Structures are given as C-alpha cells and as structure tokens.
Amino acid sequence: MRALAELTKGVYKENPVFRIVLGLCPSLAVSTSVQNAIGMGAAATFVIVGSNVVISLLRNVIPARVRIPCYIVVIAAFVTVVELVMAAYAPALSKALGIFVPLIVVNCIVLGRAEAFANRNGVWLSTLDGIGMGIGFTFALLIISTIREILGDGKLLGYMVFGPNYQPALVMIMAPGAFVTMGMLIGYFNLLDAKRKKRAEAASAER
C-alpha cells in the first residue's frame, strides 16, 4: 500500500506544481505548447528518478555537512545526460526548451525530493517517489500547456481545434497568460481540496 501511495501522491495529493507550488519557473516558461511540456516533463522525470536512486544509495556515505553540494553534483550529472541526448536526437525540442533544461539542476522539485525523501528512504521507495513526482510535474505541465496552446494558438499538437476563423487570444502564449492560467488552476485545485475536506468533516460528524 505504501508503494502505491508513493507512486500516486505526486499526481494530486502532493502535486509539485498545483499543491506544493514548486518548479513554477519552467512551468510558466515552457508551457506554451504541449510538445514542449512533454519534453520538459520527460527530462525532469528522468533526472528526478535517477538522482533519487543515486542519492538513496549514497545516503549513508555522504557527510551531512556537504550533502547539498553532493546532491547538486549528482543532479547535474543526470541533467548533462539529458541535455546531450536531447541535443543529439531532438535538436528542435532542445532549442525550444533552451536554458530551462540545464536549469533542472536547480529545480526545487528535484532538490526537494533528494533532501526530503531520497535521503531518508530506500532505493525502491525513492524510485517510486521520483516516478510519481515526475508524472505529477508532467501532468501539471500538460494541463497548463493544453489550455494555453488551444486558447493562444487555436491548435493542439499542430492540429486546428476551432477552425480557420478562430481568433487566437495571443496573451495566453505570453507571460501574462501563463500567470493567469497557473493562478486559476491552483485556485481550482485548492477549491477541490477544500470541498474534499468539508465532505470528510461532514462524514466524520455524522459518525
């Protein structure tokens, strides 16, 4: 049961973007299209899982005083792998994501999972935690990018959604549109959480 909980918590309960509000910089910057969101989500998931595994294996070896620099070195190694592979096999995507792939090194989600989870748990649970958080991050990016691409460009993955007469709301693929979309989605998830807690309290009172 715990393994399943660690794998699924990142989707909603501890979603890194909508619930914990981490990794907002890439979430706002690269979510102009679904293609970019998938690429960033896959890259971040690989880095989170890989760094979680290595840090979990070395958690009893790394001195406590230098653990953060050691985490960054491990994370940077996986980010370098992702950056080189993406540049070799998906140069267009690499160019579109730009500086935000190297910046995964300082992404709060990656470093946060290393410090809060991988440093205190075994390899198996740390792997599941990394996969779950990666899926949650990708899920958040997909929601944001879908809304922005459809409203801001009238397309989804290059296909017209509303027809040739649609007038795109260009603001949605600009910085203000990113903030508006993010704010509305975080508010929506907070509302869902409040309703869930209210139902739970009502059910508890009836007992």
**Does residue 104 lie in a domain region?**
yes
Instruction: Quote the pLDDT of residue 10.
Output: 84
**Does residue 14 lie in a domain region?**
yes
**Does residue 154 lie in a domain region?**
yes
Instruction: Quote the pLDDT of residue 135.
Output: 93
**Does residue 20 lie in a domain region?**
yes
**Does residue 206 lie in a domain region?**
no
**Does residue 19 lie in a domain region?**
yes
What are the tokens at 165? 């007469």
Instruction: Quote the pLDDT of residue 146.
Output: 92
Question: Model's pTM, two decimal places?
Answer: 0.87
DSSP string across 168-190: --GGGGSHHHHHHHHHHHHHHHH
**Does residue 207 lie in a domain region?**
no
Instruction: Quote the pLDDT of residue 170.
Output: 83
Q: In total, how many domains does the chain have?
A: 1
Range of the domain at 139: 2-201
Residues 32-72 pLDDT 10s: 889 889 999 999 999 999 999 999 999 888 888 888 899 99
Q: Are 102 and 79 contacting, i.e. CB atoms less than 8 angstroms apart?
A: yes
- Give residues with Cβ within 8 angstroms of 136, minimum separation 6: 9, 10, 11, 12, 14, 15, 16, 17
Instruction: Quote the pLDDT of residue 51.
Output: 94
Q: Which of 50, 76, 64 is nearest to 120 (CA)?
A: 64
The rounded average pLDDT for each run of 10 residues, N- to C-terminus, in the chain (207 residues) is: 82 86 85 89 93 92 88 93 92 87 86 88 91 92 91 82 80 86 90 85 74
